Amino acid sequence: MRLLSAALLAIFCTAAAAQLRPIPPAAKVGSMRHLGELTVELDGTPQQLAPGVQIRDTQNRLVLPVALRERETVRYLRDNAGFVFRVWRLSESEIKALPPAPSPFPK
C-alpha cells in the first residue's frame, strides 16, 4: 500500500512540477530560429545571442541554440547590451494561452 501511495504521489508531483514555468511577465513573444553560432533570426531579423544564453525547451530543460532548427514561437528577454539572453520555447498549450495580438487596424 505504501508503494502505491508513493508512486501516486510521485506522479502527481511530477505533473505539478511540469506545469510550473517561471517565465517572467516582461518576456516578449516572438518567432525564432537558429542561423548559426550565436545568431538567431527573431521575427525575421538576425539577432545576437548573449554569451551564456539560456534556452529552455517545453520541458524546462536547457538546450543548445541549435535546438531551434525550425521557426518556433518563443518568449525571450534581452540583457542590458541588447543581446537575447533568456529564451523559452513554448508548448502548444502555452501558445494558445497567449493574449491575442493587438489589431493593426483601429476600431
Question: Tens digits of per-residue pLDDT, 44-84?
Answer: 999 999 999 999 999 999 999 999 989 999 999 999 999 99
Q: Are 86 and 53 in contact (CB under 8 A)?
A: yes
What the block records as the C-alpha cell of 78 is 534581452
CA-CA distance, 93 to 8, in Å (whole number)?
25
Q: Residue 11: what residue type?
A: I
Per-residue pLDDT band at 29 (split at 50, 70, 90): very high
Domain boundaries, the chain: 26-96
Does residue 20 have a pLDDT over 80?
no
pTM of the predicted protein model = 0.76
Distance of CA 28 to the CA centre of its chain: 10
